[in-house]
Amino acid sequence: MVRPGSSGGRRSPDRRRPARRAAGFSLVEIIAVLAILALVSALLLGSGGEYLRHLTRDDVETVALDAIANARHSAVLTGQPLELRYDEKNRRLDWQQGQAAIVGEGEVRLLPPARVAAMLIGGRAVEQPLERVRFYPDGTCQPFRVEIVRGQASEILAIDPWTCSVLASDPNAEKR
């Protein structure tokens, strides 16, 4: 006898769904990720500490070149010429829209585009620095050079008047 509602001896299909794996991460996956993070952290703390200290240090050359780029940018944005000056007393580069302080060791000097005259001071030829350098609204600047002095050593960087950036280094460039 067939019961009402039955399929006449056929088994009804099982309406239960197959067992699913619970969503989430397994313990092995979590441990693997933590191990990788620990390895990367150990590498960064070992060699990265010196790198981070170097990044936070304001190098004289970096500050000077950033000030030149910012002065050029300000002249272009305002549409008016402006002047960049080095204040030896306060050790900072000033332009109408900002300033950059020289911290730590080193000095910056703005020099004419070519050596015109130099005086011998303490056995070293010293050029007369420029009072100011002019930047124009079209993104150009007056031709000049920047002398970066660190202790007894100095390096002179020629600045391209069209782009206001450092010209490619010349193997015969002046290093004293």
Quick one: pLDDT at residue 101? 86
Q: Torsions phi, psi of 23, nearest 5? A: -70, 150
The SS3 assignment for 100 reads strand
pLDDT tens for the 176 residues of the chain, in order: 555 555 555 665 556 666 666 678 899 999 999 999 988 887 777 666 555 555 544 588 888 899 999 999 999 999 999 999 998 888 888 988 788 888 878 888 898 887 655 555 555 566 788 899 999 999 999 999 998 888 878 888 999 999 988 887 655 544 44
How far apart (Å, rounded) are the C-alpha atoms in residues 99 and 92? 7
> What pTM does this model have?
0.60
pLDDT score, position 30: 92
158 has which bridge partners? 145
